[in-house]
Amino acid sequence: MNPRAAQDRPLPRGTETAAPDLFARCHAFTRVKEAKAAGLYPYFVPISNSEGTEVTVDGHQMIMLGSNNYLGLTHDPRVLEAAEAAARQYGSGCTGSRFLNGNLDLHEKLEVDLARLVGKEAALVFSTGFQVNLGVISSVVGKGDSVIIDKLDHASIIDGTQLSQGAVYRFRHNDIGDLEKSLQKARSHPGGILVVVDGVFSMEGDLADLPEIVPLAKRYGARLMVDEAHSIGVMGATGGGTHEHFGVTQSVDLLMGTFSKSFASIGGFAAGDEYVISFVKHHSRSLIFSASLPPYAVATVSKCVEILRQEPERRDRLWANAHRLRDGLVSMGFDVGTCCTPIIPIIVGNTLRTFRFWKCLFEGGVFTNPVIAPAVPENSSRIRTSLMATHTAAQIDRALEIIQVAGKTAGVIG
């Protein structure tokens, strides 16, 4: 008798063993109910109206210190007009992937402008920033290759490495010695090596140590990719990103950026040598099998890139606001870590105290983001704040008053 045929035969009726309930873990997940019952659930807050620096929640006006709208362009009349004109000319969506029927001249023009902005030969627009990291990493890193990432890299980078067929190594945040150990291990594999780091780390507000990472990667023959999601429009002489800030553009092999921060929209892009971008364009599953970025979103980004180029003073205002908030928090005794960007975390540590602090801020009229593990390391829960170029000095000073009272009430500062 064929043993395989015996295995494939159905069990006699009445002897089947039921599988464990797939939804058991869902039923056991009670943390959200408990947090809501305690009045400390801080997520999925419905905003009913937005003016950029201020939002309305349940009829109450709040100062927005939780947005990535760094250049304050989401409500700029020129941006809204460009989005409306594109929607009227091209319709509300492309109804297909760029690979087939969803490729517009708008996409290609934007790619030329983005490549010029970041100093690379070519760029490729994706429908979300998350898809950029998934698509680029999984297509360029193959079987036998290695990919090395900072332990605090964004979740999209982590997921991109898991979709690749390469060996994955993680080094301690900005620890160059630990990065070298990972590079040494990666050399035991027959293939190439890709190092991927955030330019600006979104929960810490600090920078990747590119002046040290670049020569080390070169020494081991590794390629380097930098995620500029939170630095496009913010860092560098022209807003090109962290690579421009450190003057290492030509030594960075791949760049990615997103449109949901400085560029007031949604989507993302990859940039690099033309032959690499062409390879990604024809191998990235997240690009080929996703509907393309809608026309109004593309037009929004194009107009933001234009404004960035024409109004450098906008970035000056952003940095002035960031310094004003950071200096105020430090003077009050808050722990803001090693931040040096418009992302300013207020590190609390304990998760429950973080939620209580958030609630005090929320009730006081300041909208912020509480961040807990696994988004940050255990026992380093924090309130993430971020600035816009369009915040006024009066708004920042008022927010600081509320933060000080909330910090004392929640026991974050004495």
What single string gives the DSSP state of each residue in 132-166?
HHHHHHHHH--TT-EEEEETT--HHHHHHHHHSSS
Residue 403, C-beta contacts closer than 8 angstroms, at least 6 positions apart: 329, 332, 334, 346, 361, 366
Is 120 tagged catalytic? no
Q: Which residues pair with 195 in a beta bridge?
A: 148, 224
Catalytic residue among 164, 202, 284, 302: 202
Catalytic residue among 154, 230, 359, 391: 230
Is 202 tagged catalytic? yes
- Among 364, 344, 345, 372, CA closest to 410: 364
Q: What does the angle CA 277 – CA 282 – CA 285 come to, to the nearest 5 degrees? A: 105
The DSSP bridge pattern shows strands 369-371 and 366-367 to be unpaired
**Cα 140 from Cα 145, distance rounded (Å):** 9
Contact 254, 276 (CB under 8 A): yes
Catalytic residue among 120, 173, 245, 261: 261
Is 154 tagged catalytic? no
**Cα 264 from Cα 258, distance rounded (Å):** 10
- Among 359, 336, 350, 344, CA closest to 396: 344
**Cα 300 from Cα 306, distance rounded (Å):** 10
Compute the half-sphere exposure of residue 287: CA atoms within 13 Å on the CB side of its CA.
Answer: 25
Active site residues: 202, 230, 261
